[in-house]
Amino acid sequence: MAESQTEVQRLVAQMKSEGKNVITFILKQKYFDAILAGRKVQEFREVRPTTYKRLILHDAEGFDIEDENNAAQPIRYDAILFYAGYNKDRDCALVEVKESYVEYFVDSEGKVIEYQTEDGAYWQASQVVYNLGKIFAADLHKHSSLKV
């Protein structure tokens, strides 16, 4: 390991070497700070044709693997590596995922909203909800108003 490796990077490498799943998300500084302060305890990611392979369990043909209620199942992640923005010296934090599930968007009649993609496939509007747990580590730079 490089000497310049941060605590967050070290923990991510350790978790991956132990076979744990870590996903990376980028968000705005204000949401990052809210997670560290404990005010934001859930993270939401919309499932789209461009992101579903990172978020939803799927078979070899690309179809969702569904549970007994015909709902898509999220890929199980042990932690989320959050980055605040896109700057080189951005803040980052490794946060536990306690639970995740898929939530479908419904219309005023309670029916799941469906739309057709450019390639003609039908898509159900949904998001993955991640219930966040403890903060394993955080590397804060000048951007965050918080100190962990």
Mean pLDDT for 124-148 is 84
Q: If you compute the radius of gyration of the chain from its CA atoms, what whole number of angstroms results?
A: 17
Q: What is the pLDDT of residue 148?
A: 47
Q: Are 24 and 84 in contact (CB under 8 A)?
A: no
Which superfamily does 7-139 belong to? Answer: Hypothetical protein. (2.30.130.30)
Query: Measured between alpha carbons, how far is 38 from 138 in angstroms, rounded to an integer?
Result: 13
70 pLDDT tier (thresholds 50, 70, 90): confident
In this predicted model, what pLDDT tens digit does every residue of 28-69 receive, in sequence order? 999 999 999 999 999 999 999 889 999 999 999 888 899 888
Question: Is pLDDT above 90 for 127?
Answer: yes
Both structure tokens of 74:
């999220």
Q: Which one has a higher pLDDT value, 57 or 142?
A: 57
For residue 108, give every residue at least 6 positions away whose Cβ sits within 8 Å of its Cβ, in sequence order, or none. Answer: none
Q: What is the pLDDT of residue 143?
A: 57
* Distance (Å) of CA 92 to CA 16, 24, 82, 84: 17, 10, 5, 6
Instruction: Tell the burial category of 61 from Cβ atoms under 10 Å away from its Cβ (0-12, 13-18, 19+).
Output: exposed
- Taking all residues of the chain, what is their mean pLDDT, rounded to a whole number? 90
147 pLDDT tier (thresholds 50, 70, 90): low
Dihedral of CA 82/85/88/91: which sign?
A: negative
Q: What is the pLDDT of residue 146?
A: 56
Q: Which one has a higher pLDDT value, 143 or 63?
A: 63
Can you give the pTM of this predicted structure? 0.88
